[in-house]
Amino acid sequence: MAVALITGASQGIGACIAKRLAKDGWDIAINHYPSDGDKAKAEGVAEECRASGVRAEIFAADVSSFDQCAELVKSVKDAFGSLDALVNNAGITKDTLLTLMTEEQYDSVIAVNQKSVFNMMKPTIKIMMKQKHGAVVNMASVAGLYGNPGQFNYSASKAAIIGMTMSAAKEVGARNIRVNAVAPGLIKTPMTDKLTDEQKAKIFDQIALKRFGEVEEIASVVSFLLSDNASYITGQTIEISGGLSM
Ligand code: NAD
């Protein structure tokens, strides 16, 4: 069975992607942040994946650490025997205005959201090159396409991911490896629960479909991009925002 590794999959969009890919028939490697709370949630997600009749295991790693990512990818390959799909989903926000942003707020968001994609893709792509196949989906954001006030650090990290996706796609396309990104708009998750009602009302105004997205609506596009139905799509960033940018 083909194996998919999803980072930051203990909750939110990552957990939903793991469950959707399990339904699609992928064996699932669930990465979670190394904390007791995240481990417990990841175990719950793994149980739900197994209900689809596939194998699902959890793996602790902080994706901002180059060494922990190398160890994570090796552990998944050792445990499952192959690694056919990678979803770089883990991400954080530390929102504040540029003039108030601390160096720590900038550096930590870049490390978790952006450098993690390098940390994860380097060892994964080596495996996929030997296998002569593979697919990667990186989690960008509309903030990386259009910017967002209060998200200088986050927008930087997500815009970088779009460039990294195109560069990697060009490097590895001849090896039968596809690399794409998705750029969600506002999706109902613990990350967006933090917004005030006033902030939400302002945002609805700009969305053609007049609602937040559901995590399943991201998972279904990731499922498509990893599948053979997307066999001639690489280097693309698919916006999933209910028509936010029109
Ligand atoms: P979330 O906060 O619910 O989930 C993020 C996950 O990443 C959590 O499981 C968390 O434990 C994990 N994580 C954080 N730091 C980590 C680290 N150092 N190592 C390993 N795991 C780590 O958020 P979400 O809304 O599900 O976001 C998932 C992805 O989607 C993120 O990359 C986010 O930027 C992106 N995104 C979300 C939205 C949205 O509206 N929710 C919009 C655009 C993009």
| Per-residue model confidence (pLDDT) at position 105 | 98
221 pocket-lining for ligand 1 (C-beta < 6 Å): no
User: Domain count of the chain?
Assistant: 1
Residue whose CB lies within 8 A of the most ligand 1 atoms, among 189, 193, 194, for a mutation test: 189
| pLDDT 10s digits, 95-117 | 999 999 999 999 999 999 999 99
* pLDDT at residue 204, as a whole number: 86
At 149-173, the pLDDT tens digits run 999 999 999 999 999 999 999 999 9
Per residue in 188-228, pLDDT tens? 987 778 778 887 888 888 999 999 999 999 999 999 999 99
Assigned domain for 193 exists: no
Q: Are 100 and 92 in contact (CB under 8 A)?
A: no
Lowest average pLDDT, out of 14-28, 80-94, 191-205, goes to: 191-205
pTM: 0.97
Domain-embedded: residue 61: yes
Helix/strand/coil percent split, the chain, to 5: 55, 15, 30
Q: Which two tokens stand for residue 130?
A: 């030997």
Residue corresponding to tokens 């990893």: 226
- Compute φ and ψ for 27, nearest 5 degrees: -75, 145
174 burial class (0-12, 13-18, 19+ CB within 10 angstroms)?
A: exposed
Residue 206 is assigned to a structural domain of this protein: no
Residue 50 maps to which CATH number? Answer: 3.40.50.720
Give me 173's structure tokens: 């396309």
Residue of 33, 106, 146, 154 marked active site:
154
pLDDT over 70, % of the chain: 100
| Confidence at residue 126, expressed as pLDDT on a 0 to 100 scale | 98
pLDDT at 201: 83
For ligand 1, atom 20, which residue shows the shortest CA distance?
33
Q: Is residue 228 part of a domain?
A: yes
- Structural domain boundaries, residue 129: 3-187+215-240
Give the pLDDT of residue 203: 81
Query: 59 with 29: CB under 8 angstroms?
Result: yes
Between the CA of 174 and the centroid of ligand 1 the distance, in Å, is 31
Give residue-wise pLDDT tens across range 46-79.
Answer: 999 999 999 999 999 999 999 999 999 999 999 9
